[in-house]
Amino acid sequence: MQLRFTFDTHDFTATLDDTPTARDLMSMLPLDLTIEDYSTNEKIAHLPRRLTDAGGGPFQGEAAGDLCYFAPWGNLAFFYKGYRYSRGLIRLGRLDGGIGPLLTRGSFPLSVQGVP
């Protein structure tokens, strides 16, 4: 499963893991969201509804380029620097072409579509 994200001048993809949470996200497509800066290591985008957290739980190998869902707030988290697993964080997959687009500071309309 792959997603295509478009914001500002950026167009990039992410490959999702085959999990209940990732499949639930795919069922919502297409989406028009807002991507914005959060903290010093991620961008976030709030979803119109919460995703299932079935199959979530601790994971390892956290790295820049991970795409996650933060269940307590109902948002996507795009990590562009290192981070650590925290309760309620569910890894959905990884960005395919690196973190470059996430380094653009600011808030932008974000288009999310499935890749056939």
Q: Is 31 exposed, middle or buried (0-12, 13-18, 19+ CB in 10 A)?
A: middle
Q: Is the previous residue joined to 30 through a cis bond, with omega within 30 degrees of 0?
A: yes
β partners of residue 33: 110
User: What's at 68, amino acid-wise?
Assistant: C
**Would you say residue 55 has pLDDT above 80?**
no
- Rounded to a whole number of angstroms, the CA Rg of the chain reads 13
**Would you say residue 22 has pLDDT above 90?**
yes
User: What's at 71, amino acid-wise?
Assistant: A
pLDDT digits (tens, 9 = 90+) for 89-112: 999 999 999 999 999 999 999 999
Q: What is the model's pTM?
A: 0.93
pLDDT digits (tens, 9 = 90+) for 3-16: 999 999 999 999 99
pLDDT digits (tens, 9 = 90+) for 59-72: 999 999 999 999 99
